[in-house]
Amino acid sequence: MSRFLNKKYEALEAYVPGEQPRGMEYIKLNTNESPYPPPPAVLDAVSREELEKLRLYSDPECAELKQALADSYGLERKNVFVSNGSDDILNFAFMAFGADGAVFPDVTYGFYKVFCALHGIPFAPIPLTEQFEIDPQDYFGAQRMIAIANPNAPTGIALPLAQIERIVQENAEHVVLIDEAYVDFGAQSAVGLIKKYDNLLVVHTYSKSRSMAGARLGFAFGAAGLIEDLERIKFSTNPYSVNRMTRAAGTAALCGSAAAYYREKCALIAKTRDELRERLLALGMEVLPSLANFVFARCAAVDGETVYQQLKQRGILVRHFSTPRIRDYNRITIGTPAQCDALVLAMQEIMKEKQQ
């Protein structure tokens, strides 16, 4: 830290992203990326012609991309916001809507509390139930901005749409942000509700189900007023936050053939997930019921940190969090079936060694 840093950032604890190893080849099951590449339409979209246009700024309105998103979700362009990854959008949303404070679960995406700290937003974590579930009633009448990841991370557990709707109804004077980063793997989306409620913001990303984590593209749906508020903040920081290559790739990812490819891959990942869960349960592990592209699992005999280390020694990276309530667990991204086989084999060895 230099002596020049603004005092208000001295105590800021930045978000720690999952490891992105260089060098040694790991089976990488730690940051919920897709194990499958983007479809051909996306690869072809970043053409030489497109690259030649790099001398020009990208379209700050992102009109074409927004229209394509609006068309795919049956909405209007004024209901769509896009920016550089959904983290960017979450940041803007906390800035825009967090004036009265924010609430979110005690166990959820670790970035929410970082945004609150960054912007001086008071926040109150609401404990999940014993079963790591969200009790909707805990959010009724919150009188603050609410942020809920659905499915939640790192648990993978999803709330049914009717319960999300109740939370939106019972907090009508504040924004309810539903972070649907993992919704394409089997949960119910709240996108259909945005026409009905002016306080609902639904945030999506290309990083997980669309195999484009490295492109940095997120989008959000909400009433036109909410989108205008987000645009105001985006245009006060970086109007060009979506670059030309990403805009081209992101638009191509919505075409018919790409959409069919993603549906197939999401179904495959969901099937691999359900099989992996069964296999880990059969080993005697505890695995929360996930509708995301990861499972959250613990093993009674070996603590979470040791499981993480032992898997890493065997060339498999998973995500471990050291926060007290979840330190016995690891979050395991769903890879290809072969990668999941390797994980099950490694877990078998780790648990057997412990018994000896």
Contact 207, 333 (CB under 8 A): no
Q: Pick from 179, 234, 262, 333: which binds ligand PLP (CB under 6 A)?
A: 179
Q: Is 205 near ligand PLP (CB under 6 A)?
A: yes
Between 98 and 347, name the residue whose CB sits nearer to ligand PLP: 98
CA distances for 176 relative to 92, 93, 128, 181, angstroms: 14, 10, 18, 15
Q: Is 250 near ligand PLP (CB under 6 A)?
A: no
Q: Pick from 30, 58, 83, 86: which binds ligand PLP (CB under 6 A)?
A: 86
Q: What is the DSSP letter of 240?
A: T
Closest CB 128 distance from ligand PLP, rounded Å: 15
Q: Is 207 near ligand PLP (CB under 6 A)?
A: yes
- β-strand 200-205 against 218-222: which pairing, if any? antiparallel
Between 108 and 310, name the residue whose CB sits nearer to ligand PLP: 108
Q: Is 91 near ligand PLP (CB under 6 A)?
A: no
Cα separation, 146 vs 97, whole angstroms: 9
Strands, DSSP E only, in 262-323?
286-287, 294-298, 316-317
Cα separation, 305 vs 321, whole angstroms: 8
Cα separation, 201 vs 8, whole angstroms: 29
Q: Is 153 near ligand PLP (CB under 6 A)?
A: yes
Number of residues forming the site for ligand PLP (CB under 6 A): 13
Q: Pick from 35, 38, 218, 335: which binds ligand PLP (CB under 6 A)?
A: 218
Contact 38, 210 (CB under 8 A): yes
- β-strand 27-28 against 102-105: which pairing, if any? unpaired
From 34-42, 79-87, 163-171, 259-267, span contacting ligand PLP (CB under 6 A): 79-87
From 19-27, 82-90, 166-174, 247-255, span contacting ligand PLP (CB under 6 A): 82-90
Which one, of 57, 334, 56, 62, lies nearest residue 182 by Cα?
334
Q: Is 259 near ligand PLP (CB under 6 A)?
A: no
Q: Is 134 near ligand PLP (CB under 6 A)?
A: no
Q: Pick from 92, 94, 104, 109: which binds ligand PLP (CB under 6 A)?
A: 109
Between 217 and 223, name the residue whose CB sits nearer to ligand PLP: 217
Cα separation, 335 vs 56, whole angstroms: 38
Between 34 and 207, name the residue whose CB sits nearer to ligand PLP: 207
Name the CA radius of gyration of the chain, rounded. 21
Closest CB 197 distance from ligand PLP, rounded Å: 21
Count of all residues that appear for the chain in the document: 356
Q: Is 95 near ligand PLP (CB under 6 A)?
A: no
Between 269 and 351, name the residue whose CB sits nearer to ligand PLP: 269
Q: Pick from 102, 149, 230, 287: which binds ligand PLP (CB under 6 A)?
A: 149
Q: Is 87 near ligand PLP (CB under 6 A)?
A: yes
Contact 250, 242 (CB under 8 A): yes
User: Would you tell me the crossing angle of helices 337-355 and 256-282 to the nearest 10 degrees?
Assistant: 20
Write out the residues near ligand PLP by the rule CB under 6 A: 32, 85-87, 109, 149, 153, 179, 181, 205, 207, 213, 218
